[in-house]
A and B are shown apart, each in its own frame.
Chain A
Amino acid sequence: MKNNLDIILIERLKSGDSTAFNLLINNYKNKLYGYLLRLCKDVDTAEDLFQETIIKTWKGIKKYNEKNRFSSWLFSIAHNTAIDSIRKSKQKVELIDTNDIEKGDENANLQQEYEIKEMSSIIEKIIEKLPEKQKQVFLLRQHGGMKFKEIAKMLDEPLNTVLSHMNYAVKKIKKDLRERNVI
């Protein structure tokens, strides 16, 4: 289903109202940044890629086809930008250092915060262990909200292959969470 607010904002943007751009991106900024951060595992790189994605979106907005969902188009730009960057730098993804998680807080709020941080860290590690294609499909689905047919088209892979990547990714995550007694 297409987002009506997106359609209105894009129309305003195309007619020259640049303030609509901020409103349009604002809806996706955290999901987009989260996606890039999970994919490249480095805050500085994620910020650079975020900026590059935003600039490409701004420059290409007039070419955007309303037949496609804006979120899918935005995330496909982000994905291609990130993959290009990773290929160029041949950067090996590093695990985020989890040593900064404070341990032994007695305060209930801090304890809760710690648990959330720890769970985020566990999930990051699980995602990091996934094979590249499984990770890409999983992140595009969860952060970009893309449909599998859209992902298949974007990655130029058969639909069944994409579904299989997602299936294996979720199975691995489930297994890992079970081993840690999370579920």
Chain B
Amino acid sequence: MLSKEEIIKLFETEMWLFIDGSLSEDRIKFWEEKISEYPELKEMLIETNQVLEIYDKHSEVEIDSKYYKEVIEKTISQKTLGEKVKLLFGIRSDKSANENGTLKIAFGSTLVIASIIIFMVSKTPNPVKNISAELLEWNPEEITEQIRDAQITFNFIKDEEAKKYVLEKISNDEWSSDVYQIGSKIKQMNREIEENKF
């Protein structure tokens, strides 16, 4: 048997379920009896309702109707991704059983087609393949021969005639080439005179 204080304490929390109508019929009946038995419980219930009524009366806020209209219009005009895909493929928004399957097939097909087109259109060379081909074509004998040719070319350039040839090729000016050659000869003669002094 609960004391009066215990009942009041219990009602403080259970009162909310009583107001909500969330209690079982037996429990509602139990509290109805207690409320008529103890005026403190009735007073608690009345005061609580009074507080809630005051709050409800003074907490009403009206949203700006223009703003509300804008929000609703903006929201309704938004399409979800699924709706966009449906529109793209002309799928109607009825509730057919195959709706999801059709949608998935259509979306998947688009991805496959797009992948194939991108693959065919793309002209980007594959650097890995090119490097591999060069490495496979490497011939040691040919490389050795190229090195020997380069050596001959260097020796040839040492020769004065070759210098003249090169100068002519570069400058395309015979006069400059002759002047250079005469200059070289004079330098060579000076060197020989110096060497013969001793």
Contact = CB atoms under 8 A, between A and B. Distances in A.
A29 interface: yes
Interface string A22-53: 10010001100110011000000001001100
A50 B12 CA distance: 34
B141 interface: no
A71 to B, nearest CB: 14
Interface SS of chain B: helix, strand, loop or mixed? helix
Given A25-B72, A59-B80, A167-B12, A177 B51 contact: yes
A173 interface: yes
A142 B56 contact: yes
Contact of A116 (B12, B16, B58): B58
B187 interface: no
Given A54-B72, A147-B22, A30 B93 contact: no
Interface residues of B, number: 33
Contacts of B59: 34, 38, 120, 123, 142-143
Contact of B13 (A15, A38, A116, A163): A163
Interface residues of A, number: 39
A34 B12 contact: no
Given A25-B72, A34-B59, A142-B52, A174 B47 contact: yes
Given A21-B72, A142-B56, A163-B17, A173 B51 contact: yes
Contacts of A15: 95
A173 B55 contact: yes
B21 to A, nearest CB: 8
Nearest to A162: B16
A160 B71 contact: no
Contacts of A34: 59-61
